[in-house]
């Protein structure tokens, strides 16, 4: 297990309070992150094997999993005595109906219909199950995971330390005549040696591609005056930390240097306002006005913060984000990727909100790196 048994009991208690508040008899969760959160069960096979968990008002959660994943369940699950196997040849709908029948489920059953693992075809095929009233909770269940426990924050801090090692390796490898692949090799090696559970480094791009996020490394050769974009991500037990940095090959224009320096100041000003109870619009406005004030871009429509924590592929973030119209207050224990990304200049940190401020979990020099 990734955590002590008491951690999982706390999560189940939280889920049961949620159920009581909404008069639910059962909670059926399909999203892999929520299955892992409530049961401890983790497998890399989530993308190819259908799994879900069923929580009643008493007892331990029932985990429903493919036979091929049984080993992973028994070695990671917090409730190894309560599970149901399905076998290749059964459809997802057949598996759900069998589980509901064998568990004698009746009454109001809430489910996370916003999950990519709960497509309409599946839900539609089980809606008519006798004696059950299904309640679509959409993506609402995600909010249970927004406040991190001290143990979860520990994994995020470890991941944050590795991110710094990855940046150092990437900057060292970036040079005219080298390739993006060289940077990927260096950063991936640093990730594994540093303690990351996965070797994928995160987005790496150069030249024109560095002006756009979500690019992956290629065989492109770096040349003079290139921008290089690094978004390094490390993983500890699938708890993610990431940060962005920008490299310039050759001597940049003074305006670029001054603008990047101002972006770092703006981010510092914004993060200085983040603490429990502060409305998310406060730092958001500082970032938007600060970026536009540099005249580096004419518009800045980006989100400024988004949730980060325990994330399983294909997801890449938690569904809590700060946009120009977001309406929530920060709470202690929330964790975010806080970033500025504008026309090729990128700077970001992973942070944890505290009662009286925020803790920066990623640690590396915050400057425009010139090679």
Mean pLDDT of 105-125: 92
CATH of the domain at 33: 3.40.350.10
The total number of structural domains that make up the chain: 2
The reply to whether 26 and 157 lie within a common domain is no
The reply to whether 176 and 50 lie within a common domain is no
Bridge partners for 339 per DSSP = 348
Q: Are 18 and 48 in contact (CB under 8 A)?
A: no
Mean pLDDT of 293-319: 95
Mean pLDDT of 292-321: 96
The reply to whether 131 and 186 lie within a common domain is no
Last residue of a domain, one of 145, 180, 208: 145
Which of 27, 16, 21 has the alpha carbon at shortest distance from 110? 27
- Cα–Cα distance, 93 to 226 (Å, whole number): 52
Q: Is the pLDDT of residue 128 over 90?
A: no
The reply to whether 46 and 169 lie within a common domain is no
pLDDT score for 60: 95
- Other CB atoms within 10 Å distance of the CB of residue 13: 10
- Cα–Cα distance, 237 to 362 (Å, whole number): 17
pLDDT score for 203: 96
Q: Is the pLDDT of residue 295 over 90?
A: yes
- Cα–Cα distance, 203 to 205 (Å, whole number): 7
- Cα–Cα distance, 217 to 101 (Å, whole number): 48
Q: Which residues of 209-245 are buried (b: 16+ CB within 10 A; e: fewer)?
A: bbbeeebebeebebeeebbbbbbbbbbbbbbbbbbbb
What percentage of residues in the chain have a pLDDT greater than 70? Answer: 100
For residue 336, name the pLDDT band (cuts at 50, 70, 90): very high
The reply to whether 20 and 136 lie within a common domain is yes
The reply to whether 281 and 154 lie within a common domain is yes
Mean pLDDT of 351-358: 98
The reply to whether 185 and 136 lie within a common domain is no
Q: Is the pLDDT of residue 167 over 90?
A: yes
The reply to whether 276 and 137 lie within a common domain is no
- Cα–Cα distance, 371 to 368 (Å, whole number): 10
Q: Is the pLDDT of residue 124 over 90?
A: no
The reply to whether 223 and 280 lie within a common domain is yes
Last residue of a domain, one of 96, 118, 145: 145
pLDDT averaged over every residue in the chain:
96
For residue 127, name the pLDDT band (cuts at 50, 70, 90): confident
pLDDT score for 205: 97
pTM of the entire predicted model: 0.94
- Cα–Cα distance, 235 to 196 (Å, whole number): 5
180 to 201, 220, 332, 347: CA distances (angstroms): 12, 6, 38, 19
Domain that residue 299 falls in: 150-370
The reply to whether 250 and 335 lie within a common domain is yes
Mean pLDDT of 128-145: 92
For residue 80, name the pLDDT band (cuts at 50, 70, 90): very high
Q: Are 313 and 235 in contact (CB under 8 A)?
A: no
Tell the burial category of 151 from Cβ atoms under 10 Å away from its Cβ (0-12, 13-18, 19+): middle
Last residue of a domain, one of 145, 170, 193: 145
More confident residue, 1 or 40: 40
pLDDT score for 129: 83
pLDDT score for 130: 83
Q: Is the pLDDT of residue 125 over 90?
A: no
CATH of the domain at 344: 3.90.230.10
The reply to whether 88 and 72 lie within a common domain is yes
The reply to whether 193 and 296 lie within a common domain is yes
Neighbouring C-alpha atoms within 13 Å toward the C-beta of 357: 7
Q: Is the pLDDT of residue 229 over 90?
A: yes
More confident residue, 139 or 262: 262
Q: Is the pLDDT of residue 1 over 90?
A: no
């Amino acid at each position: 297990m990734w955590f002590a048994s008491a951690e999982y009991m706390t999560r189940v208690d939280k889920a049961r309070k949620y159920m009581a508040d909404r008069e639910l008899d059962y909670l059926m969760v399909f999203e892999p992150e929520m299955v892992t959160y409530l049961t401890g069960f983790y497998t890399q096979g989530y993308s190819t094997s259908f799994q879900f968990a069923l929580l009643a008002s008493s007892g331990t959660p029932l985990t429903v999993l493919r036979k091929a994943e049984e080993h992973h369940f028994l070695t990671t699950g917090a409730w190894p005595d309560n599970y149901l196997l399905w076998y290749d040849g059964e459809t997802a709908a057949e598996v759900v109906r069998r589980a509901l029948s064998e568990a004698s489920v009746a009454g109001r059953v809430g489910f996370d219909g916003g999950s990519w693992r709960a497509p309409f075809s599946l839900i539609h095929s089980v809606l008519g199950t006798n004696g059950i009233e299904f309640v679509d909770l959409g993506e609402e269940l995600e909010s249970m995971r927004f406040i991190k426990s001290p143990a979860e924050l520990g994994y995020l801090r470890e991941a944050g330390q590795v991110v710094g090692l990855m940046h150092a390796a990437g900057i060292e490898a970036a040079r005219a005549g080298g390739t993006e692949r060289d940077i990927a090799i260096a950063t991936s090696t640093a990730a594994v040696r540093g303690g990351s559970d996965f070797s994928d480094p995160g987005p790496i791009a150069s030249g024109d591609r560095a002006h756009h996020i979500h690019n992956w490394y290629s065989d492109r050769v770096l040349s003079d005056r290139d921008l290089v974009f690094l978004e390094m991500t490390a993983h500890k037990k699938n708890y993610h930390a990431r940060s962005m940095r920008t490299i310039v090959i050759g001597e940049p224009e003074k305006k670029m240097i001054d603008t990047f320096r101002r972006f770092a100041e703006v981010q510092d000003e914004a993060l200085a306002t983040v603490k429990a109870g502060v409305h998310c619009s406060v730092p958001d406005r500082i970032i938007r006005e600060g970026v536009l004030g540099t005249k580096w871009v004419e518009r800045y429509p980006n989100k400024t913060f988004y949730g980060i924590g325990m994330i399983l592929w294909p997801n890449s973030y938690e569904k809590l984000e700060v946009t120009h119209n977001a309406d929530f207050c920060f709470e202690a224990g929330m964790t975010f990727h806080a970033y500025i990304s504008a026309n090729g200049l990128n700077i970001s940190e992973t942070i944890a909100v505290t009662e009286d401020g925020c803790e920066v979990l990623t640690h590396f020099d915050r400057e425009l790196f010139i090679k």
